[in-house]
Amino acid sequence: MNISCLGATAWRVFKQLLADKRSIALILFVPVILMSLLYYMYSSTPAGTQLFEMISTVMIAVFPLLLMFLMTSVTMQRERNNGTLERLWTTNIRRLDLIGGYAVAFGLMAIVQSLLMVLTLRYLLGVHTESQWWISTLIAAITGSIGVSLGLLSSAFASSEFQAIQTLPVLILPQFLLCGLLIPRDELPNILHWISNVLPLSYAVHAALEASRAGIGQQVVFNIVICAVFTAAFLLIAGPLMPRKTR
């Protein structure tokens, strides 16, 4: 891996993101709007407010995963279709430099997205848990990084932006269904419980729920580390699979 090539790629992608106002709005403000919508849906009763606190804790992990997956897969696929990657392959850049650069650029956006979402929950919507703001932000950011890595992995197999979007029901929807939001994971049938054990969102949600109950602790750190391992593994898989020619 060439650090200078990785840094140059990250800076190029980051500048492109900043120049795309619609992408910035999708990444930064859509989670805030959706959280606010959920808040006003549930805030009419005390029981609803309590339920919203639990749902918002889970959504801190779900929203970054979903949005960063969409943005990364579509952006990478667009660059492939425009021939940008084919021109980059004529330079000294390597696959891991490219993948790493995208991961850094979108990872920075995931951090900003997560911080804005957590601050909105705490100071505008009045959601207070035992989790410190920085640990909630870290959990959301690492989950966004998982979305970035899965988006890059998806784009390596897709031949169009539409095909990249089509992988969402395969890569993201099962994680949403089995992460513990709809049914606690301990109450899932055995086979589904085992499947949830190999899905990264399960560990992110577990970390968020544990942090909201008791703050930072061994279980929270363990689950964050597992999420980081998933992110690194997906990036390492996506690197060698990224094609050099547009299909």
CA distances from 223 to 62, 71, 98, 174, 219 (A): 15, 25, 28, 19, 6
Task: Supply the pLDDT for residue 233.
Answer: 92
Angstrom CA distances, 63 to 15, 176, 200, stand at 23, 10, 14
Tens-place pLDDT, residues 82-116? 766 666 666 667 777 778 888 888 888 888 989 99
Report pLDDT for 14.
86
Residue at 71: amino acid letter: M
- pLDDT tens digits for range 17-63: 888 888 888 888 888 998 888 888 887 777 777 888 888 888 888 99
Residues with Cβ within 8 Å of residue 179, at least 6 apart in sequence: 58, 61, 62, 185, 196, 199, 201, 202, 204, 205
d(CA 154, CA 148): 10
Rounded to 5°, angle at Cα 239 from 233 and 241: 105
Structural domain including 37 reads: 3-241
Spatial distance between the Cα atoms of 219 and 53, rounded to a whole number of angstroms: 20
Instruction: Tell me whether residue 247 is in a domain.
Output: no
- Please count the structural domains in the chain: 1
**In a domain? residue 65:** yes
In whole angstroms, how far apart are CA 109 and each of 64, 67, 138, 142, 207? 10, 11, 13, 11, 21
Q: Look up the pTM and report it.
A: 0.88
- 112-152, pLDDT tens digit by residue? 989 999 899 888 888 888 888 899 999 999 999 999 999 88
* Residue 16: inside a domain: yes
Q: Domain for residue 85, yes or no?
A: yes
Position 139 in a domain: yes
Q: Which two tokens stand for residue 94?
A: 């390597």
Give a yes or no: residue 161 inside a domain: yes
- 115 CB neighbour count, 10 Å cutoff: 18
pLDDT value at residue 125? 86
Establish if 93 belongs to a structural domain: yes
Q: What pLDDT was estimated at residue 87?
A: 67
Per the CB < 8 A criterion, the answer to whether 161 and 78 are in contact is: yes
Domain-located, residue 246: no
User: In the prediction, which pLDDT does 132 show?
Assistant: 86
What average pLDDT does the segment 159-182 reach? 84
Largest Cα separation within the chain, whole Å, is: 61
